[in-house]
Amino acid sequence: MMYNEEKLKVKDPAIPDARGRLITFEGIDGTGKSTQIVRLTEKLREMGKTVQVLREPGGTAIGESVREILLDRRHTNMCEETELLLFAAARAQLVREIILPALETGSWVICDRFYDSTVAYQGYGRGLDLNVIGALNQLAIGTCRPDITILLDLPVELAVKRLTGRKEKADRLDNESLAFMQQIRDGYRNLALAEPDRLILMDAAQPETVLAADIYRVIREGFGI
């Protein structure tokens, strides 16, 4: 357990209970986000919550088309600025077409990656200007901020071990170096230090079921449910 329970006060009395909650999952590739999202979704549905699960980039027809462009192995010449803008474009659409309307109807939304991914990958990883990324993220998300973000943290070597052999063919974004992944992990950890109330750093090296129970507890305590 790596989060600070003292600081965990996500439940904001200003947010009406009729509104849904936005939970995002972050972490370098290979940390087990997808598995944990499935587990948390099951738990929340058992509690009677309506839960919508989304992934970034994607989640809308436009977003899925953008995703194909981003992951296409033929696009070896994609420049970093193009990549940044495409992620932001997919996100802007997802927020307005799906996330905000879902939250308004009381649905809970779990998103596999959100704007922290852009800060970590394009900012800390690629080295693009963090201020520019911040402004672009702001434009893409508007008022839509996650209520809580689960950051799955894992040493890069372990993440790579888990990834090896998982996919038959690596996509464009999988062909990245260990050093790049290390910068992203460090970036995420910086983000968690800067915003400890929202970004909850969790040890993804724990056994899957232990981690799932931990995440569920963080969510219950955070939202007072």
**183 touches ligand TYD by CB under 6 A:** no
Contacts of 100 (CB under 8 A, 6+ apart): 144
Which is nearer to ligand TYD, 8 or 163 (by Cβ)? 163
CB of 116 to ligand TYD, least distance (A): 8
Binding-site member from 173, 179, 193, 225 for ligand TYD (CB under 6 A): 173
Span 108-167, contacts to ligand TYD by CB under 6 A: 113, 117-118, 121-122
CB of 67 to ligand TYD, least distance (A): 8
Which is nearer to ligand TYD, 102 or 133 (by Cβ)? 133
From CA 91, how far away is CA 71, in angstroms rounded?
Answer: 16
**59 touches ligand TYD by CB under 6 A:** no
CB of 180 to ligand TYD, least distance (A): 10
CB of 225 to ligand TYD, least distance (A): 27
Q: Closest residue to ligand TYD, Cβ-based? A: 121
**29 touches ligand TYD by CB under 6 A:** yes
Which is nearer to ligand TYD, 57 or 187 (by Cβ)? 57
Strand partners, 200: 150
Binding-site member from 57, 59, 63, 222 for ligand TYD (CB under 6 A): 57
CB of 46 to ligand TYD, least distance (A): 25
Which is nearer to ligand TYD, 14 or 79 (by Cβ)? 79
SS (H, E, C) the chain: CCCCHHHCCCCCCCCCCCCCCEEEEECCCCCCHHHHHHHHHHHHHHCCCCEEEEECCCCCHHHHHHHHHHHCCCCCCCCHHHHHHHHHHHHHHHHHHHHHHHHHCCCEEEEECCHHHHHHHHHHHCCCCHHHHHHHHHHHHCCCCCCEEEEEECCHHHHHHHHCCCCCCCCHHHCCCHHHHHHHHHHHHHHHHHCCCCEEEEECCCCHHHHHHHHHHHHHHHHCC
Stretch 65-84: interaction string toward ligand TYD, x if CB under 6 A:
--------------------
Identify whether 57 is preceded by a cis peptide bond (ω within 30 of 0): yes
Binding positions for ligand TYD, rule: CB under 6 A = 29, 56-57, 87, 113, 117-118, 121-122, 173
